[in-house]
Every structure is written in C-alpha cells, then in structure tokens.
Amino acid sequence: MSTIVLIHGLWVTPRSWEQWIPYLEAKGHTVVAPAYPGFEVEVEALRADPSVIASLTVPETVAHLEKVITDLPEKPILIGHSFGGTLTQLLLDRGHGRAGVVIDSAPPEGIRVTPPSQLKSLFPILGHPGTRHEAAGFTAEQFHYAFTNTLPENRAFAVYERYAIPAPGSWVWSYGLIANFKPGKQETWVDFHNANRAPLLFIGGGRDHIMPPAVNKSNAQHYKAPGTITEYHEFPDRSHWTCGEPGWEAVADYALDWAQRH
C-alpha cells in the first residue's frame, strides 16, 4: 500500500478530490489532499470572500506542501491536477515524492506552446489587467468552456456550483505566459536535466481546452536527463474536468498503477 498526496489545481479546492479520496482509501492507501494556504475553508466561504487568497504566491504554496510531505512517514506518490501538476513538478525537482503523476498539467516556465483554446479559456483573466492584483474567477459559461466542455450544460453548471472559486489572478499573469518573457529563472522554473528526479507521468485529456494535449506533450518532451523516466498518456475524449467527469475511475487507476510500477 502507498501514501498518496493529491494536489488540487487553481479555481478549485481539495473538494475536487472528494471522489478520489474514498476510492483510493478503499484500496488500502493512505491519502492526503492538502489545501493551498488560505484554501482550507469551504468553497462557499472563498466565494464570499476571496480576498484571503488574492496575494498568495507559488513559493509560499510550495513551502506549505513541502512541510506536509516531509511530515509524512514515507515518501509519497504525488498526483497533481492542472496547476497542481506544476506544483508536483516543482516538488519532484526538489527531491520530494517517489513517483509523480500530473494530470492536464499547467506548464512550468519554458513551455511555449499556447493553443488557441487555451488563450480563449484564459481570456477572462488575461483580458482584464486588474485581475493580476485580485482573486479572479470564471462565469459558469466560461467555466463550462475551459473545464467541463464534454459535459452537458446542466451537468456543467452543477459542477460549477459545487467546486468553482476565484483564484489568485497574479498566478495566471506571473507564472503563465509572461514568465517565459522575463529574464532569469522564475518561480515556476524546473530543472529539466535533473538526473535525480523521481519517475514522472503526464496524463493529457484529448478534449481539454485550457491545458490541451500539445501543452502536456511539450512539457513532457522538455525532460531530458539520462536515466530518468518520463512518459505521456492521453485519454482522447476527456476534458480538463477529467478527475471528476464520468469515467474518472479509469484515470485514477491508470495514474496509481503507473506510479506503483515505477
């Protein structure tokens, strides 16, 4: 049996793992799903007052997750979704985790693939410069396009109501596209040549709008250290909401089976 750390993405909280936690625990694993600092409260509270997370940074979040991981009795398997995938890559680069799986991962610094659907998904944030100083979210319609495009409208709206929150807008501005145009190493920089990194699997969703397969494939191909294991697997008909949409169990099983074999 394994210890597993589930790392959520932006615009959601650890509630996004509420199906995975009992599913993996029923298989005998120990499962931890930490929140980012300030994200510990319920979705409804963050919607009412998102100012508590507006100024959160990636280094603060990585430090918090490192504390959670190093307090565990053994090196865990790290599974991160969306921006949780970026954080998982940063943690693996720092020597944490015995294997990592990133699902529909947001890219670290240096990935320059930007498909049109990604730009359209992020336009509600990038189209309004004021969002870089505040917590910013999506409307239900925007969330449907970016996250849940494979679901019918009524089901997508139910997902939005249960899980969607604003997120620090600065993360999109500072750690997304713009990081690639700043001099020097940014806070989402990863050493793609780190020969001591644990095995890493990328899982992409073939119909993911906000983090399409091209982004995840390019990210995986950047890892080049001899002796390290990096693989890519794609579920062709799945959206960014692949950890919650029908059939999520297949994604969970594939991720865990791969991590345990490596």
- At residue 176, the pLDDT reads 64
Cα(144)–Cα(121) distance, rounded to whole angstroms?
10
- Residue 68 scores a pLDDT above 90: yes
Q: Rg for the chain (alpha carbons), in Å?
A: 17
pLDDT in tens, 203-220: 999 999 999 999 999 999
Instruction: Name the band, by pLDDT with cuts 50, 70 and 90, for residue 163.
Output: very high
Q: Domain of 220: which CATH number?
A: 3.40.50.1820
pTM over the 0.85 mark: yes
Q: How many domains does the chain have?
A: 1
Per-chain mean pLDDT for the chain: 94
pLDDT in tens, 111-149: 988 899 999 999 998 888 888 888 999 999 999 999 999
Q: Which of 232, 209, 236 is nearest to 222 (CA)?
A: 232
- Angle of the 58-70 helix axis to the 83-93 helix axis, nearest 10: 60
- Residue 50 scores a pLDDT above 70: yes
Task: Please give the span between the terminal C-alpha atoms of the chain, in angstroms, as a whole number.
Answer: 14
Question: What is the residue range of 61's domain?
Answer: 2-261
Place of tokens 């940063």: 90
- Residue 169 scores a pLDDT above 90: no
